[in-house]
Amino acid sequence: MYSGPFQPGDKVQLTDAKRRHFTIELTPGGQFHSHKGIVNHDDIIGADEGTVAKSTLGADFLCFRHLLVDHVLSMPRGAAVIYPKDAGQILVEGDIFMGARVLEAGAGSGALTMSLLRAVGPQGHVFSYEIRDDHLAYARDNVSDYFGGEPEWWTPKLGDFGEITTEDLGGPVDRVILDMVEPWHFIDTVKDVLIPGGVFMTYVATVPQLMNIVETIREAKCFTEPRSWETLLREWKVEGLATRPEHRMNAHTAFLVWTRRLADGVTPPRPQRRARR
């Protein structure tokens, strides 16, 4: 359920006056216990989203269903997740469209996987490769928990990305997204499975990784000149004349690198750079 009155089995986020979040799964006769008293699940079931549940000690809790971002930030994880600020960039800059065939590696804890699955829809397909079985298990559990089962348009696979062929995928893919320690070792695989014009993006955390992947893409001579950037997110506290930036911010998480596959046999134009003095 994404809308309508709350039903048993819904994941509901309770928010108190200090903006602290608590997640519960609604069950008839169930209770949520906190230092601010008890909230009965039966008081929430059947109510509309955006209502307030009152505890036995008189505390108010705002009730909403989990959004995808809430699920990602609260779900169990084995590997660090791709945070929403970067997932949003991947979806837009990577042009993840409805019906696209997308290949990702590694699957990690499944955070980006869920965004990809929602974007491509049942008309598309997402292939998620992961070399660690414990990480893949987290991804499968988290995706199943969010979608109520594994979507039919998802193929999670335990295996080495470097051994993938187009036969394994049932043909070439439209997009490739890599979140791994040494993505530069797999440029040939990306070239083989990605259609001409397809978008290739990587997610790397450190400057040496960034330098290696960009130079390897250039040396392959089958991709456009790569772009690279990071996204910094700073929230603001708005309270009249005391409006100011929050003291804490989501600063560096990773670098994103973007490029597109050239047609076979095409040599990329040499980028024009300013002469050094």
Q: Is residue 112 a known part of a binding site?
A: yes
pLDDT band at 272 (very low <50, low <70, confident <90, very high): confident
- Could you tell me if residue 105 is inside a domain? yes
Q: Is pLDDT at 271 greater than 90 in this prediction? A: no
What confidence tens digit (pLDDT) does each residue in 61-96 have?
999 998 898 888 888 888 888 989 999 999 999 999
Residues 47 and 83 in one domain: no
pLDDT band at 277 (very low <50, low <70, confident <90, very high): low
Instruction: For residue 236, count CB atoms less than 10 angstroms from its CB and return exposed for 0-12, middle for 13-18, buried for 19 or more.
Output: exposed
pLDDT for position 48: 95
Instruction: For residue 160, count CB atoms less than 10 angstroms from its CB and return exposed for 0-12, middle for 13-18, buried for 19 or more.
Output: exposed
Q: What is the mean pLDDT of the chain?
A: 93
- Could you tell me if residue 47 is inside a domain? yes
pLDDT for position 172: 97
Rounded to an integer, the average pLDDT of 197-212 is: 97
Q: Is residue 264 a known part of a binding site?
A: no
Residues 21 and 156 in one domain: no
The pTM (predicted TM-score) of the whole model is 0.88
Q: Which domain holds residue 89?
A: 70-261
pLDDT band at 125 (very low <50, low <70, confident <90, very high): very high
Residues 229 and 199 in one domain: yes
φ and ψ of 161, to 5 deg: -60, -35
Rounded to an integer, the average pLDDT of 109-129 is: 96
Residues 90 and 61 in one domain: no
pLDDT band at 105 (very low <50, low <70, confident <90, very high): very high
Last residue of a domain, one of 21, 40, 66: 66
Residues 25 and 96 in one domain: no
The first and second tokens of residue 34, run together, are 């906190």
Residues 87 and 199 in one domain: yes
Residues 151 and 241 in one domain: yes
Per the structure, the count of domains in the chain is 2
pLDDT for position 171: 96
Residues 132 and 234 in one domain: yes
> Omega of the bond prior to 58 within 30 degrees of 0, cis?
no
Q: Is residue 135 a known part of a binding site?
A: yes
Q: Is pLDDT at 1 greater than 70 in this prediction? A: no
Rounded to an integer, the average pLDDT of 225-242 is: 94
Q: Is residue 251 a known part of a binding site?
A: no
Comparing 10-19, 65-74, 136-145, the range with the smallest average pLDDT is: 65-74
51: domain CATH number? 3.10.330.20
Instruction: For residue 260, count CB atoms less than 10 angstroms from its CB and return exposed for 0-12, middle for 13-18, buried for 19 or more.
Output: middle
Residues 59 and 76 in one domain: no
Q: Is residue 160 a known part of a binding site?
A: yes
Residues 119 and 42 in one domain: no
Residues 181 and 52 in one domain: no
- Could you tell me if residue 127 is inside a domain? yes
Share of the chain above pLDDT 90, in %: 82
- Could you tell me if residue 12 is inside a domain? yes
Q: Is residue 109 a known part of a binding site?
A: yes
Residues 88 and 40 in one domain: no
Cα–Cα distance measured from residue 1 to residue 9, given in angstroms and rounded to the nearest whole number: 9
